[in-house]
Each structure stands twice: as structure tokens, then as C-alpha cells.
Amino acid sequence: MKAAPSRGVPRPPGQLLRRVAQRFCSRSTLVHVVDPIVADMQHEWDAARERSSTARACVRLAGYAAFGKALALRTLTASGEHLVRNAFGTSREERSFYRRAASTTAATLLLLTLVAVFGSSGSSMRSLAYVITHQRWPGGPAEAEALQRAAAIALRADALANLVPCALLFVLPASVLFGILLAARMSLPEHGPARAPRTRWVGSAALTATIGGVALAGWLIPQANQNYREIVFSSVNRTARAENVPMKGSRELNFGELGAAIQQEKARNGKYVALYRTEWHKRVALPAACTVLGFLAIGLVDPARGRSAFGSAVTAASVGFIHYWLMRVGEQVLMPRGVPPFLAAWSGNLVLAAAAIILIVRRHELARPPEASARPR
């Protein structure tokens, strides 16, 4: 039996983290990544015991941050290696999981992207009609004619095509969640003991979507957004010359340009540093939501609850909506109130990652055989 720590002697930090990691990590990761981080943190904390409580808290925080970052990095690299080694799966069951997840995600993406493109085209039509009517362009038209002109611009094929990348990114996390959820539910055996979806499979599928999403958000979307603005600008303002293209806003800058803009704003103490940094984090946070929601899917698959496609769709739609809403709150409410850009952009992912951890831990507890739960620790 373990001796209880004597009262007054503080316990070194990191023990709970280590216990949590023991549930999820492989032995190699535990021995070579988790234990060294915890050991270094404990020694640093021990050395800081004579110093102030603030210094000790800083040691703790730095250790926890390193722990989170190292585990995230390890998960990403391990999933990437798995994906490269077993691109098409090693077993029939695994191949079938990837095929179902990919086809469901692709079909959902197509459908939701169409809805999102026409939805945003409708809203830009209204704004365009307002601009055409109220900005008094030379020979400004009447309202009905303005609406007609706005519709002609917003429904142009090249304008619609440039809305596709942005719409794709916004619906990607929910589509991935639905794809994984449905594939995982369909993979449950009809007879015999129910099993949860394999973490590695889900990780690989979600990571692929995340990598694709980062490429989309970092380079393709800014270019498409700028193309859209130029098309609309040249259509509305027919007298504009070709060289008078609209200036790029934060959403039209690619990763490199955003980085440069942040440095420039910092150098001149500009007021847009937070805006640019939030946009930068958002470009990573939105695709990373695919991984977060993928792991949430593991927690959401209840082997006892059957294989309902409708249930999966409702769950994915609800979670997707919550995630979108949380990200909007981060961007529209938290960022203007001085919350650090990282937190403002990642708030949705952090909340849902916490939910995923709770659900997975709970599922592990439920899946444990009764004699194992009864065993004294």
C-alpha cells in the first residue's frame, strides 16, 4: 500500500498529468516524452521551493504548457507516420473505415459547401444592392434595378467559384465529424462485444483533413477572397481602371503576408496587431478543429447505441454549430475585449477538446471490466 504523503509536504506537480497520459499514450511516448517532461518540471519546481509562490506557479505553468505542446506534437507526428505507412489501411476493417469516412465526408462537404456558397452569395447580393443604391454611383440606379445588377454580379460563375474555398473550410470540421462518426458507428460489429473506434484511425483521418485545411486557409482562401473582391469591384464600378484593385484586408493575406503585416504593425505600434494575429491563429485553429472534432467523435460513439445515420447527422450538425458559435464569440467578443489572440481564436477548439477528453475518459471508465474497476489502486 502506498504511504500517504505527510501533511505540510507539498506534492510535486505533474502526477495527475502523468496518470492521464498513462491512459492514452504508448509506452514509448510515456517513457521518452511524458516522464522526462514531468521529471524536469518536478526538479525545477523543487529548486524553486525556496522562492516565491509566483515563481513556483510559473514553473508549473511552463511545465504544463510544454507537456501539452509535446503531446500534441507527438500525436501529430505519430498519426502522420501511421498515415504514411498505412495509407490505405492494414486490414479490411481499417480500409472500410477510411473508405466510409472519406466518402461520407466528401458527400457532406459537397452538400454543405453548395448551401454555404449560395447562402453567402445571397448575403453579398443584399450588401451589393445596398452599395449600388446608396453610394450613388454615376447615374445611380433605382432600387429594383440595383437589386437586379447585384444579383447578376453575385451569381456570376467566377464569383461563386471564388466563394467555394472559404465555404469548404467552414463546413470542413462538421463534415469530418459526421464522416468519422458515421464510419465509426458503421464499423461497430453487429454481434459480439462492442468496440470503440481505434484512436489511430480517427487520428489519421482527422489529421489529413487538418493538413488539407491549413493549406486551404493559408494560401488558397486568401487568393480566392481577393479574386472575389476584384470581380465584384470591377463589376460594380464599371468606370474603375484595371490597376485600381481593392487593397487586401486581413482575410485576403496569405500566411507569409500576414506574418509580414504583423511585424510591420508591431514595428509602428499599430492598432491592428491583435486583428492580424487573431486571423493568423484562426487560419490554424479552424482546420485544427477537424482533429479536435475527430477525437470528440471517439468520445461520442457509444457502442451500446447502434448505428443511426440520422443520430450522427444531428450530433455533427449540433457540434459544428456550437464550434462555429464559439469561434465567432472568440473573434467578435473576446478579441475586442483584449483577450490574447491565441485564446480568442482557439476558444472553440479548447472547449471542445476539453469535452472530448472528458467523454473519452468516461468511455474508458465504462468500458473497463468490472473486476478491473474493483481492483484496489
- Which residues in this chain contact other proteins in the complex, by CB under 8 A? 12, 14, 18, 28-29, 32-33, 35-40, 42-46, 62, 65-66, 68-70, 73-74, 77
Q: Which is nearer to other proteins, 28 or 148 (CB)?
A: 28
Q: Which is nearer to other proteins, 33 or 301 (CB)?
A: 33
Please tell me what DSSP assigns to residue 10: P
Q: Which is nearer to other proteins, 4 or 247 (CB)?
A: 4
Amino acid code (one letter) for 246: P
Task: Return the H-helix or E-strand segment holding 224.
Answer: helix 221-236
Q: Smallest distance, Å, CB 30 to other proteins?
A: 11
Q: Smallest distance, Å, CB 56 to other proteins?
A: 13
Q: Smallest distance, Å, CB 53 to other proteins?
A: 17
Q: Let me know: does 39 contact 67? Beta carbons within 8 Å.
A: no
Q: Let me know: does 32 contact 40? Beta carbons within 8 Å.
A: no
Please tell me what DSSP assigns to residue 195: -
Q: Smallest distance, Å, CB 10 to other proteins?
A: 9
Q: Smallest distance, Å, CB 227 to other proteins?
A: 36
Q: Smallest distance, Å, CB 357 to other proteins?
A: 19
Q: Which is nearer to other proteins, 14 or 330 (CB)?
A: 14
Burial class (CB in 10 A: 0-12, 13-18, 19+), 355: middle
Q: Which is nearer to other proteins, 118 or 342 (CB)?
A: 342
Q: How many angstroms separate the Cα of 228 from the Cα of each of 161, 214, 222, 239, 242? A: 9, 20, 10, 18, 15
Q: Which is nearer to other proteins, 68 or 189 (CB)?
A: 68
Q: How far is CA 26 from the centre of its chain?
A: 24
Nearest partner of 236 among 118, 160, 127, 128, judged by Cα: 128
Nearest partner of 218 among 305, 279, 302, judged by Cα: 279
